[in-house]
Structure 1
Amino acid sequence: RSVFAAREKDNLLDAAELLQEAVTRDPTFMLAYCQLAAAHSQLYFINLDRTPARLAAADAAVQTALRLRPDAGEAHLALAQNLYRTFLDYNRSRAELAVAQRTLPNDSMVLSLTGYIDRRQGRWEESMRNLIRAVELDPRNAFLLQQIGYSDQLLRRYAESAAALDRALEVAGKDVDTRVQRAENPFYWRADLRPLHTMIDAILADDPAAAPDLADSWINLALCERDLPGITRALGALAGDSYRLVNFVRVPRAFVDGLQARIRGDGGAAQSAFRVARTQQEELVRVQPDYGPALCVLGLIDAGLGRKEEALREGRRALELMPVTQDSISGSDMLALFAVICAWVGEEDLAFEQLAIATRIPGTLSYGQLKLHPFWDPLRSDPRFEKIVASLAPQDAP
C-alpha cells in the first residue's frame, strides 16, 4: 500500500503490536525485530507519530536484531532503513546497505532503499535506475511501481508517471490508493480535475466504506473545485484529526475549516478555525521543535491569522531545518509552503522568489495546483504569477 494510505497509522500500529507479541514469545526472532523496527520507523518517518518514544522503540528493535545476529544482512538492512527514516543519515545508511548486499545480493529492498536515498539527495537519475532494477527483481511489486510513478511526477514527467501507474494498476487491480494516484495525474499535468472527481465518485459508489482512504485527495479536489459542501463531506471522511496537505506535511482538521471559511468569504469563521488549529499545532511543535514541516504548518496558520512576523519567522526556520540540500522532496515542499506564507501576509516579492526556485527544481508544485488551489488566490492578479503558471503548462494546454 501507499505510504500515504489514510489508514496507514492504524495498520502500522497493529503491525507493531503483533510483532511485539511475537518477539515477547520468542526473544530470538531476529526477523521479527527487523520488521518491528520498520513499523516504528515508518510511523516516525511519515509523521504519524514523530515522538522520542517512537524513535527509541525503532532504535531498540534494530539494536536487538543486530545483537542476535550481527552478520545477518537483514539486520543491517533494518539498520540502514532506520538511519534513513529517523536520522536522515544517508551516508551511514549507504554503508549499512553495502554490508547487507553481501548476503542479500538479489534483495529488491536493498536497491529500492538505495533509490530512495538517491532521491532524497537529489540524485534523480541514479534513483530511477535503482528503482527500475528493484522492479526487475520484484516485477509484481505494485508499491515499487507507484514509487517510480511518484518520482516521475516530482520530475514533472507526467506521461511517464501515468505509464508507471498503469503498470502498477495491472498488478494492484482495484487498489484504491493506486487508482486515486493515477486519477490525480491529469490534475497535476493539465489542471484537469474530471478524472479524479469521476474516480472518487466511482469508488464511493462501489464501496462507501472506502471514504477514509480517499479523504485527503477528496479534500484537495473539493478545495480546488471551491465545492463548499464537498469540503464538508470530505472532512467527514477523515480517519484522524489531521489532513495530509502534501507528502508528510499534515495540518489540523481545523485548518481546512479555516480554508473553507476563506473560500466562502467568512473572515470571522476563518479566524476562529485558525485559532483552534494554532492551539493544536503549537503542541506538535512543542514535541518536535526541530521538525521543519511542523513549524511550517504553524507558519501557515499564523499567516492565516495575520500574525505576519511570526509566520515569516516560522517559515524561514522551517527552510533552515529542512533545506533542499538535505531532503530534496521535503525541502521543496518547505519552499512552496513558505511561498504560500509570504503570499498570505502580503510579501508578494518574497513569494515570487520562492516560487521561482520551487518551480525550477523537482517537487510536488505543479501546473494544476498553481492554477486551481485556493492557496494561491492572493497572487492571481499579478502578471508574475501568470508567467510562472504558464512556465509549467503542458505544451498543448490552451
Structure 2
Amino acid sequence: MSQPQPARVAFDDVIIDVAGQRLWRGGARQPLEPKAFAVLVLLACSPGRVFGRDEILDAVWGHRHVTPGVLNRVVTLLRHALGEDAQAPRYLRTVHGVGYRFELPVVAETPPGASTEAPAPEAPAPDAAIAPAAHPLRRSSDAAPPPRKFPHAALWLLPLLAVLALAGWKLWPRHPATAAEAVPASEQRSIAVLPLVNASGDAAQQFFSDGISENLIDALSRFEGLKVIGRASSFRFRDGKDESKAIGARLGVAYLVSGSVQRAGDTVRIGVELVSTADGRTVWTEHYDRPYQDLFALQDDIARAIAAALQAKLLRTPGATKQDNRPPGGNMDAYNAYLQGLRNFYVGDYRKAIELQQKATQIEPDYAAAWAQLSTAWVLLGQYMGDDEKAQRAYAEARKATDVALRLAPDLGLAHGARGNLLLAADFDWRGSIDEFRRGAALAPENGQIRGGLSRALAASGHLHEAIEQRERFLSNEPLFAGNHFLYAYLLIASGRLDAAESSIRFGHELQPRPGVPFELMYVAILRGDANAAQDVAARQSPPWRELNLAVAAQIGPDRAAADAALATALKDEIWSKTTPYLIAQAYALRGDADKTVEWLERTWSRHDTNLHHLLYDPLILRFRNDPRLASFCAKVGLPPPTASEALSIDQIIAAANAGKR
C-alpha cells in the first residue's frame, strides 16, 4: 500500500507545500507550472527511489502525446527553481539510462525549529480588468480608475474599452500522433487560457508572460466553433489552487491551457499543455525553446496546434480581417513597451500607460495597435481629470492618436473601438460611436470588449434590446468579470427584470466584494417601491455618499417632510452639485418634478458629464418620456426622442409588478 503524501516537505532553505501546491526557496516563492510541481512532489515524496522516465510520464501526464523533451524541460525548470547546478545537482539527480532520483538531506513534515506556516505569498499583481478599483462601475470604464477624492457616481455607469496584448510561438517537432487525433470532434470545443506562469524569477517580467497568455486568447478566438474565455475571467485563476474540473465548471469550458514562460537573455522557453476539465487528463503538451527575436514568426503556430487538437478551423466571417497587435517592423523593444503599457492600463495607471505607448510609437511610428491603445488611455485619463479644460486636452491627444491608428491600419478593429470610445466619451456622438463599434465588431468579431462598447453605445441611444444581446455575447466570453454583471444588471433593470438584475448584482459583488452592500441594490428596491429596503441599503453605504444616497432613497418614502429635509441637507454641500448633478436629477425625478429634473440634466450637460449617457435607459428619468421638456433637452444634446427608447420607466415597472400580483 502506498504511503500518504506529507502536507509539506522541507530541507535546507526549501519548503515544498504539497497541500498548497507551492514551492518556496530562501523565503521566496518559486513559480512552477502544475505538471512540473507534480513531478517534484512525485520524486520528493519518495526520496532515494529511482523513477524511470516512462514511469514519471505515466504518473503525471498519463503518457498522452508527450514528447521525451517535455520531461527534460521540466527537470531543467525544477533545478532552476531549487537553485541547483545542473552539472553537480544536490537534490534532483539523473540516473543515466533509467530516469531520476531525488535525494533529501532532511525529510520532515515540519522540520525542527521551522515555522508550521509556509512563507506568506507575495501580493498578487493587481489586474484592473478583473478587479477595478473600489467601485468599478462608478465611471465609464472597465479598467480601474486612478485614486480620486469622490469616486462615486449615479445609477447608470458605463465601461470603456480595455485592450489586449498579443504574442506567440512556433512549435518544435511534436509526437508523431497528430494533434487532430487527440480529441473527438463530437466533444464540446470550449477553452480557457489560464495566465502562464512567469518562470523567469523576475517579477518585472510578469507583463511578458501575461502578454503571451493574452496572445493565445486572441489567436484562439479566431477559430470557428471554438468558445474562448476572455482575459478578465481566465486571469482570476492566476496562481490558484483550483483543480481543472472546478475551473472548468466555473468558466463553462471543456479544456484549459496552462504552462510557463521563461525569458533568459536572447532565449524564450515556453511550456504549454492542453488539459481536459472532465478528468484532468493531458490532451496535448509541447515545449518551445526559441530565440527571442523569433517571437513573432512563432505566433500563429502554437494557436494552430491547440486548435488542431480540438479540430477547430479558422473563422471565415464575411468582412473580418486578421487583426495584429504586433509592431509591423518586428521591433521587440516597441513590443515590450506596448505590453508594459497594457499592464499599467489594466491597473489604472493611465499616465504610465500613455508614457509607454508613446515610447512604443516613437520606436515604431507605424505601430497602429499602440496608437489605438494610446488613444484609449488618453480617453480614460480625460474622464477622470475632473477639470473639463484638462479633459478636453486629453481628448485632443486621443483624437490625434486615433487618427494615426486608422490611417495606418483602416481595418484594425481595435482602432475603430478606440474611436467609438472617443466619440461616445468626448463628443457625445451617439450615432457615430455606434457606427465605429459596429465596424470594429465586423472586423474583429472575436473581440468581446468591442461588443461591450457597442452595447454601451446602443443603450445610450435607447436601443435596449440589442444592447442586451451584445452584452450577453460579451458575458458568454467573460462569465467571471464582475463589471460585466453589474452592467448587465443595469440593462435588465431598464427592461423591468428586477429579480434577474438583483441576481446579477449579487453575483458581481461576490466576484468583486466591496465594503457594505452594493449601492445598485438601492435602485432595485426603489423600482420595487420598497422604501424600507432602499433606506437600508443607503444607510449601509460609506460616507460621504451615505448622506446623498439616503436623500435619494427618502424620496419614495411616506414621510414627505423627511424627504424634503434630506434633499435640502444634501444640496447644502456644493460638492454634490459640482460632481454628481445627474444623481440630483434622479432625486428630482423620483419627486415627480420635471422642471428640476431637466434643470439638473442641463447642469450635467454643461459639465460634459458622461453620466448623461444613461438617460435613455434610466427608468427614473424616463418617467418624463412624454414630457416635451425632456424631449427638447434630448434634441438639444443629439439624443433620439425619449419616446423612442425601448427601456421602461419606473412607473411602467411598478405597474407591471402590481399587475403580476393580482
CA deviation string 1:239-272 (max 9, x = no partner)? 5543646xxx4669xx98xx99xx9xxxxxxxxx
Partner of 1:35: 376
Taking a change above 3 Å as real, the CA distance of residues 110 and 159 of structure 1, as seen in their structure-2 partners, is: same
Taking a change above 3 Å as real, the CA distance of residues 20 and 94 of structure 1, as seen in their structure-2 partners, is: same
CA deviation string 1:124-171 (max 9, x = no partner)? 333222212211211121111111111111111212212222221221
CA distance in 1, matches of 2:377, 2:657: 44
Partner of 1:80: 420
Q: 1:362 aligns with which of 647, 652, 655?
A: 647
Deviation at 1:74, TM superposition (A): 2.8
Deviation at 1:321, TM superposition (A): 2.7
CA distance in 1, matches of 2:606, 2:383: 21
Task: Assess if the C-alpha contact under 8 Å between 2:375 and 2:397 holds in 1.
Answer: no
Which piece of structure 1 moves more, 159-168 or 221-230? 221-230
Give the counterpart letter for 1:7 in structure 2.
P
Partner of 1:94: 438
Give the counterpart letter for 1:159 in structure 2.
D
Larger radius of gyration: 2
Deviation at 1:192, TM superposition (A): 0.7
Partner of 2:477: 137
CA distance in 2, matches of 1:216, 1:19: 34
CA deviation string 1:256-293 (max 9, x = no partner)? 8xx99xx9xxxxxxxxxx9xx98x998987787xxx99
Q: 1:2 aligns with which of 129, 137, 150?
A: 137
CA distance in 2, matches of 1:109, 1:49: 27
Partner of 1:317: 632
5 Å-filtered alignment, 1:272-287, equals none
Say whether residues 1:395 and 2:659 are aligned partners: yes
CA distance in 1, matches of 2:377, 2:556: 39
Q: 1:242 aligns with which of 543, 559, 578?
A: 578
Structure 2: where are the runs of 5+ without partners?
1-135, 141-149, 154-159, 161-347, 363-369, 614-626
Taking a change above 3 Å as real, the CA distance of residues 129 and 22 of structure 1, as seen in their structure-2 partners, is: same
Partner of 1:304: none
- The RMSD of aligned alpha carbons is 4.7
CA distance in 2, matches of 1:389, 1:157: 9
Deviation at 1:15, TM superposition (A): 5.0
5 Å-filtered alignment, 1:218-229, equals 218-225=550-557, 226=560, 227=562, 228=564
Partner of 2:514: 174
5 Å-filtered alignment, 1:291-310, equals none
Task: Assess if the C-alpha contact under 8 Å between 2:482 and 2:511 holds in 1.
Answer: yes
Deviation at 1:64, TM superposition (A): 4.3
5 Å-filtered alignment, 1:2-81, equals 2-4=137-139, 7=151, 15-23=349-357, 27-28=361-362, 29-30=370-371, 32-39=373-380, 42=383, 49=388, 53=393, 55-66=395-406, 72-81=412-421
Give the counterpart letter for 1:157 in structure 2.
R
Between the aligned residues of both structures, percent identity stands at: 14
CA deviation string 1:348-373 (max 9, x = no partner)? xxxxxxxxx59x9514x314xxxxxx
CA distance in 2, matches of 1:25, 1:166: 41
CA distance in 2, matches of 1:167, 1:236: 36
- Which structure dedicates a bigger proportion of its chain to strand? 2
CA distance in 2, matches of 1:100, 1:37: 22
Taking a change above 3 Å as real, the CA distance of residues 37 and 100 of structure 1, as seen in their structure-2 partners, is: farther
CA distance in 2, matches of 1:167, 1:283: 34
Deviation at 1:233, TM superposition (A): 5.6
Q: 1:119 aligns with which of 456, 459, 462?
A: 459
CA distance in 1, matches of 2:573, 2:656: 32
Task: Assess if the C-alpha contact under 8 Å between 1:212 and 1:239 holds in 2.
Answer: no
Deviation at 1:73, TM superposition (A): 3.9
Partner of 1:338: none
Return the TM-score normalized by structure 1: 0.56
CA distance in 2, matches of 1:62, 1:153: 34
Give the counterpart letter for 1:81 in structure 2.
N
Taking a change above 3 Å as real, the CA distance of residues 63 and 212 of structure 1, as seen in their structure-2 partners, is: farther
Partner of 1:184: 523
CA distance in 1, matches of 2:463, 2:371: 33
Taking a change above 3 Å as real, the CA distance of residues 238 and 146 of structure 1, as seen in their structure-2 partners, is: farther
Taking a change above 3 Å as real, the CA distance of residues 18 and 55 of structure 1, as seen in their structure-2 partners, is: same
Q: Secondary structure of the equivalent of 1:362?
A: coil
Give the counterpart letter for 1:93 in structure 2.
F
Task: Assess if the C-alpha contact under 8 Å between 1:34 and 1:74 holds in 2.
Answer: no
5 Å-filtered alignment, 1:196-275, equals 196-203=534-541, 210-214=542-546, 216-225=548-557, 226=560, 227=562, 228=564, 230-231=566-567, 234-235=570-571, 240-242=576-578, 244=580, 249=582
Task: Assess if the C-alpha contact under 8 Å between 1:169 and 1:175 holds in 2.
Answer: no
Q: Secondary structure of the equivalent of 1:98?
A: helix
Partner of 1:108: 448
CA distance in 2, matches of 1:137, 1:27: 31
CA distance in 2, matches of 1:113, 1:389: 26
CA distance in 2, matches of 1:48, 1:396: 47
Task: Assess if the C-alpha contact under 8 Å between 1:242 and 1:250 holds in 2.
Answer: no
Deviation at 1:84, TM superposition (A): 4.0
Deviation at 1:114, TM superposition (A): 2.6
Task: Assess if the C-alpha contact under 8 Å between 1:200 and 1:218 holds in 2.
Answer: yes
Task: Assess if the C-alpha contact under 8 Å between 2:465 and 2:646 holds in 1.
Answer: no
- Which structure dedicates a bigger proportion of its chain to helix? 1
Deviation at 1:213, TM superposition (A): 4.6
Deviation at 1:392, TM superposition (A): 4.7
CA distance in 2, matches of 1:239, 1:157: 34
Return the TM-score normalized by structure 2: 0.36
Task: Assess if the C-alpha contact under 8 Å between 1:41 and 1:58 holds in 2.
Answer: no
Structure 1: where are the runs of 5+ without partners?
204-209, 264-273, 294-311, 333-356, 368-387
CA distance in 2, matches of 1:126, 1:284: 26
